[in-house]
Every structure is written in C-alpha cells, then in structure tokens.
Amino acid sequence: MMGSGRGGSRRRRDPPNGSPAPESPGRSAPSTLAGIGYDSHRLGEDRKLILGGVEIPHERGLEGHSDADVLTHAVIDALLGAAGLGDIGEHFPDSDERYRDADSLELLGSVLRTVSAAGLRIVNVDCTVVMERPKLGPHRQAIRARLAQALGLEVARVNVKATTGEGIGFVGRGEGVAALAIASLEER
Ligand code: MG
C-alpha cells in the first residue's frame, strides 16, 4: 500500500546555537520514532501455526482468539508503540467476537492505515521469533517476504530472526512461542 520511494523533505534542522529548533508547545518533532512489541501464545493441538502470515507445517499450532499469529501481533504492537497509539488489545479486544479467528495480517492492515492517518510511515521493522520447534530457518525468507508485502516495505527493510529457548522456560519446554519486534517510523 505505501510506496517505497524515499522522496520528500527531511525535517532535519541545525540551529546555529545548537539548541533544538522551536516547535509548537508540548510537541517535539523527532525525525524517527521507535516502538517495541512482544507477544507470546501457547502451543496446542488442532491449531494452525501461522507466523507473519505464513502457515508453517507442524503438528501443533498457536492458541488464541484470533489466528494467534504471535509474530504479526508483536509487529503490530511495535508499530502502535512507535506511533504512540496504545497496544493491540486496545485496538482489537479479544472479548470482541469480530476478532475471533481473525487474520492477523488484516489487523496489521488496519494498523497501517491508522499509522498512515497519523502522518507516519514505516522505516523498518526487525523481529525475532523465539521457538523451540520447528526450526524456523527454512521458512524465514517466506515470512520476511510476506511481512514486507503486508507492510508495504522493501524486503531489505524487514528482518526476521529466529532463536530457541535452549530447552528452558516455556519456549524451551515447547509450551509456547514468543516474538519480539521493533519498528521505526518517520514523519511523512
Ligand atoms: Mg497475541
């Protein structure tokens, strides 16, 4: 949806005395905004394992009100965080039947429209999936491409990393999957 062109004016200012340029009261104008996101979901039977919109073949999947795409949920929270717009639970409450089995990429699309309406665009997204099994390596590029497409970004601006729980904690015991994300936004 959003173009990847890098045109437009930069808002960098270098006042001669080195002090910040005056802005409207109470509102600073940073050139970039960073946000973090974290999510975890329980692994269970008879569920699909969907990460970044990609279905990963596995005997178990993630449980949740929506499609439980833990990675996309972390990305959504990173974007909302960078934009100062709260969190995923505020925007898509799990008490709302509209979001039962929701496609998380559709929720992401809604968030992108909100972020865009706030006058912001995404610079890059980086994320990490913490999962014991299956190994994410063979699926990493597909997830990266799918997320980049959904975010309207070049693949180079979206990074997907994977690590395991080293056999410890809820991830290591195979009880669940966690994901972390960071997003950087800039004013359009
Ligand atoms: Mg979630």
Domain harbouring 65, CATH code = 3.30.1330.50
State the pLDDT at residue 169: 98
Q: Sorting pLDDT into bands at 50, 70 and 90, what band is 6?
A: very low
Look up the domain containing 170 and give its range. 33-187
* Cis amide leading into 134 (omega within 30): yes
For the chain, what is the domain count? 1
119 CA distance to ligand 1 centroid (A)?
Answer: 26
Would residue 22 count as lying in a domain? Answer: no
Would residue 13 count as lying in a domain? Answer: no
68 CA distance to ligand 1 centroid (A)?
Answer: 6
Answer for the pair 35, 82: CB distance below 8 angstroms, yes or no. Answer: yes
Instruction: Compute φ and ψ for 29, nearest 5 degrees.
Output: -125, 75
Ligand 1 ion local residues (Cβ < 5 A): 39, 73
Q: At 129, list the tokens.
A: 């999936």
67 CA distance to ligand 1 centroid (A)?
Answer: 9
Residue 81 has pLDDT above 60, yes or no: yes
Q: At 186, list the tokens.
A: 């800039």
69 CA distance to ligand 1 centroid (A)?
Answer: 7
Residue whose entry in the numeric block shows the structure tokens 């062109």: 5
27 CA distance to ligand 1 centroid (A)?
Answer: 31
Would residue 28 count as lying in a domain? Answer: no
Would residue 25 count as lying in a domain? Answer: no
State the pLDDT at residue 69: 98
pLDDT tens digits, one per residue of 137-174: 999 999 999 999 999 999 999 999 999 999 999 999 99
pLDDT tens digits, one per residue of 116-136: 999 999 999 999 999 999 999
Residue 16 has pLDDT above 60, yes or no: no
Would residue 92 count as lying in a domain? Answer: yes
Would residue 10 count as lying in a domain? Answer: no
Rounded to two decimals, the pTM is 0.84
Would residue 2 count as lying in a domain? Answer: no
101 CA distance to ligand 1 centroid (A)?
Answer: 12
**Cα(21)–Cα(151) distance, rounded to whole angstroms?**
32
Pick 16 or 116 by higher pLDDT.
116
Would residue 177 count as lying in a domain? Answer: yes
Pick 180 or 2 by higher pLDDT.
180
